[in-house]
Amino acid sequence: MSQPFPTDNPFLRGYYGPVNTEAQAANLPVTGEIPAGLCGTLYRNGPNPQFAPRGPYHWFAGDGMVHAFHVEQGRVSYRNRWVRTPKWALENAEGEGLSGAFGNPAFSDPRIVRLNSTVANTNIVWFAGRLLALEEQHAPFALDPATLDPLGYDTFGDGLNGPFTAHPKFDPVTGEMVFFGYSAKGRFSPFASIQTADREGRITRAEMLELPFASMIHDFAVTRNWIVLPVFPLTGSMERALSGRPPYAWEPDKGTRIALIPRAGTLGQTRWFDAPPCYVFHPMNHFENAAGQIVLDVMKYDIAPLFPLPDGSPSSKAAPPARLFRWTIDPTGDRVGLSERQLDDRAGEFPRFDERHCMSDYRHGWIVSGNVADSLRERSTADGLVHYDLATGQTRNWMPPDGDHCGEPVFVPRSESAVEGDGWVVCTLHRGAENRSDLAVFEATDIARGPIALAHLSSRVPAGFHGNWRPGPLS
């Protein structure tokens, strides 16, 4: 029998709390005017547990739920659906939660352990004509782009080797998708798969890289010539998991190790170098400058948030914030090292940019402002948006009323030929006082103006992670 959700976990209440309803609406009420040229679908993914979890719950562990806002001819429609993975289906049939966080076998039903199923709760991308819901430990899970009905695991014609990151990179020049997967030889194993698929979805590279230790590697960077894989000291341990201690924990004494992997070479040409302990969930963009240096703009934490020390005690007294830094790496010398420069002192997360300029020098970027990892305050204050003009160093921001929260900003170009930054930013906007959400549309380089249009939901989109825009009609 289904059990009530615990009330003492901040990730199961308020803005983070799951919704238990799947809904659809054909024509949302709109305030303002939806731009005539805005046509496509914003898909957004995030954790939304179907049932109360077994054992300690973590924000990253809930079942995926996709929220789809389709915009066409000034109108906005909406639907949300759980990602009906084998795990979701088994628990739905049993009427109760059967899994511990991150599939921890210490708290999971043996049937769930044997199933080894994804939760598909972190990102959703459109690639090679397929809509793919992603997390970090399993193959992508394909969905029908119109109905969000399940189409099953996508293994790229059985070419996929190991797990699949939630953050693949798309080369706008070649059409390739470059991706990796950590724990690639089994849960908490110190290996990562390094893979590439061509624009048709065929695997063209699949290699296995041994790491210095097992680490949660959420994201990485790709340039024209390099794959940059950071191994931060957020370690994974089966021994800890089986003993009821944290499966993932912060171990700063291990430091950070960064691999430079040539895109056109082999893993045997990989160069490793040391960096201070820190954590990065998300880079903004990554490219090579005129001098051949690798440039990465990252949201850097001094201490990994949301995870404890190996003994279960807090890693810090307060939730550490992320701030925007520029990392520069020179791969040409005998000794590789990293230099950094802080670009902004405000806290933020979920960096995005005009992805037509991925792997190229760029000018415009956007983040959600605020300490989004601070669950203890349950984000009772507002989270806004910031626009960076990296050419001038200027920033512009918009803050909603207290208690409201902006989701990840996604850039949509005005046209495929529009200059960089010419377009709109779309995001979900949680209305705390009304306990519901809007779809917000902004002029991309005039964020401070506020939304030019709001499509109003009567329901709530919970705190989630990532999404992307698929242009054009659904048919």
Residue 203, pLDDT above cutoff 60? yes
Helix (H) or strand (E) holding 126: strand 123-127
Note the pLDDT tens digit of each residue in 214-234: 999 999 999 999 999 999 999
Per the rule left: phi > 0, alpha: psi between -120 and 50, beta: everything else, 227 is beta
Q: What is the mean pLDDT of the chain?
A: 94
Whole-number pLDDT of residue 131: 98
Question: What are the angstrom distances between the C-alpha of 192 and each of 41, 166, 259, 275?
Answer: 32, 14, 11, 19
| pLDDT of 347 higher than 90 | yes
> Which residue has 């009304």 as its token pair?
434
| HSE of 377, CA atoms in CB hemisphere, 13 A | 15
Cα–Cα distance, 368 to 348 (Å, whole number): 5
Confidence at residue 378, expressed as pLDDT on a 0 to 100 scale: 60
Count Cα atoms within 13 angstroms, Cβ side, for 393.
5
Q: Could you tell me the pLDDT band of residue 118, with boundaries at 50, 70 and 90?
A: confident
**Is the predicted pLDDT of residue 374 greater than 80, yes or no?**
no
Q: Residue 294: name the closest of 348, 333, 344, 347 by CA.
A: 333
| pLDDT for 420 beyond 70 | yes
Give pTM, 2 decimals. 0.96
Q: Are 129 and 151 in contact (CB under 8 A)?
A: no
- Beta carbons of 454 and 439 less than 8 angstroms apart: yes
Kindly state the percentage of the chain with pLDDT values over 70.
Answer: 98
Residue 194: CB partners within 8 Å, gap ≥ 6?
A: 180, 205, 206, 207, 208, 209, 227, 229, 261, 267
Alpha carbon distance 53, 416 (integer Å): 44
Contact 441, 424 (CB under 8 A): yes
pLDDT digits 0-9 by tens, 74-92: 999 999 999 999 999 999 9
Alpha-carbon separation of residue 126 from 194, 389, 422 (angstroms): 20, 28, 22
Nearest to 67 by CA among 472, 466, 475: 466
% of the chain beyond a pLDDT of 90: 84
Residue 36 is predicted with a pLDDT of 94
pLDDT digits (tens, 9 = 90+) for 136-194: 999 999 999 999 999 999 999 999 999 999 999 999 999 999 999 999 999 999 999 99
* pLDDT of 196 strictly over 80: yes
pLDDT at 1 over 60: no
Three-state secondary-structure class, residue 382 = coil
pLDDT the model gives residue 373: 72
pLDDT for 392 equals 96
Confidence class of residue 376 from pLDDT cuts 50, 70 and 90? low
Mean pLDDT of 242-263: 95
